[in-house]
């Protein structure tokens, strides 16, 4: 008689975990979606100074988190594994490039193009899986890649310019995701970000020195509010990553795959409706084709996940 309540309790716990995971992941993508407004508000600080502070302050924030959560043992354990430490250095280099391009794009009135990069990113991830991991794609995945390629060509021809920001963003973040996949669960989120930013710290220091010698460092010179915003760069960087890590542990990859479009959708709204960036017809057509590719990819993910669930159910019934 106690079996039914126990089973019900277990379902409730799983449901609660999935609900919490969905909210964590969605929170991360929402924060990433409105991030352009934060970087725009950091003017007159340029992208080179902003990224340098972002690296150093993220490192400080992670060090505080490792201290509070007693996570230094995990961090040292990663350092003692040279392959992992080097992979995190490569991940750091890729995320540095991604951060630099993204801040430069947002401060150059190219938020819409940045959003295009993140719309394309899931398709880039699938393509990298084929090229690097030799994975086999399903038919809809191939179609989505082809449609996305057509969209880029349409934008280049119709808009008269190559969307470099979008292409660089999707390339760096796609490669970053690939490296993190190789690392897997061997490195927790806080230790990973701490090690990535530790590798980048010397670059950030040199970068700040160059900024100081040329245009001058703006920290502390543009008012109290600007100083607070700039000093928040570490928190602004780390919190979405930690939310994402918490969400990814609790929900399926299919759910993450569907939620990830919340970020570029919000970036698109910010660029078009808030910052009033131009959207000529050629750009609308290009974005429309990209959205078709995204819908195809999502449909494939949902269909594949449903088939996998059915297959597992048949296997369980057969075993019973």
Mean pLDDT, residues 194-202 taken together: 94
- Quick one: tokens of 143? 């179609």
Q: Tell me what pLDDT residue 88 has.
A: 92
| pLDDT surpassing 80 at residue 316 | no
DSSP string, 68-117: HTT-HHHHHHHHT-HHHHHHHHHHHHHHHHHHHHHHHHHHTT-HHHHHHH
Q: Show me where the domains of the chain are located.
A: 23-319
pLDDT (0 to 100) of residue 320: 52
Whole-structure pTM value: 0.84
The more confidently predicted of residues 162 and 60 is 60
Q: Is 187 helix (H, G, I), strand (E, B) or coil?
A: coil
Question: What integer pLDDT is reported at residue 254 of this predicted model?
Answer: 64
Distances, alpha carbon 305 to alpha carbons 102, 230, 249, 312, in Å: 32, 42, 17, 11
What is the reported pLDDT for 12? 42
pLDDT 10s digits, 21-53 = 888 888 999 999 999 999 999 999 999 999 999
Q: Which of 111-125, 287-301, 306-320 has the lowest mean pLDDT?
A: 306-320
Higher-confidence residue of 137 and 205: namely 205
């Amino acid at each position: 008689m106690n079996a039914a309540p126990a089973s019900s309790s277990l379902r409730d716990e799983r449901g609660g975990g999935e609900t919490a995971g969905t909210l964590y992941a969605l929170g991360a993508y929402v924060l990433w979606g409105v991030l352009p407004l934060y970087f725009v508000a950091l003017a007159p600080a340029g992208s080179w100074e902003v990224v340098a502070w972002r690296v150093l302050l993220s490192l400080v924030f992670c060090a505080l988190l490792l201290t509070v959560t007693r996570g230094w043992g995990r961090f040292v354990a990663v350092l003692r594994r040279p392959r992992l430490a080097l992979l995190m250095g490569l991940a750091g280099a890729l995320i540095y490039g991604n951060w630099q391009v993204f801040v430069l794009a947002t401060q150059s009135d190219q938020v819409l193009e940045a959003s295009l990069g993140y719309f394309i990113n899931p398709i880039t991830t699938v393509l990298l899986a084929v090229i690097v991991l030799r994975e086999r794609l399903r038919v809809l995945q191939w179609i989505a890649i082809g449609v996305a390629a057509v969209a880029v060509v349409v934008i280049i021809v119709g808009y008269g310019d190559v969307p470099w920001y979008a292409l660089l963003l999707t390339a760096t973040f796609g490669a970053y995701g690939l490296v993190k996949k190789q690392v897997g669960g061997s490195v927790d989120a806080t230790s990973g970000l701490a090690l990535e930013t530790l590798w980048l710290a010397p670059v950030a220091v040199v970068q700040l020195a160059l900024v100081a010698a040329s245009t001058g460092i703006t920290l502390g010179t543009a008012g109290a509010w600007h100083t607070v915003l700039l000093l928040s760069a570490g928190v602004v960087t780390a919190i979405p990553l930690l939310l994402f890590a918490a969400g990814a542990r609790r929900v399926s990859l299919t759910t993450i795959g569907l939620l990830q479009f919340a970020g570029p959708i919000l970036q698109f709204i910010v660029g078009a409706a808030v910052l009033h960036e131009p959207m000529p017809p050629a750009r609308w057509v290009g974005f429309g084709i990209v959205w078709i590719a995204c819908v195809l990819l999502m449909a494939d993910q949902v269909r594949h996940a449903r088939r996998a669930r059915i297959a597992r159910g048949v296997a369980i019934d057969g075993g019973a």
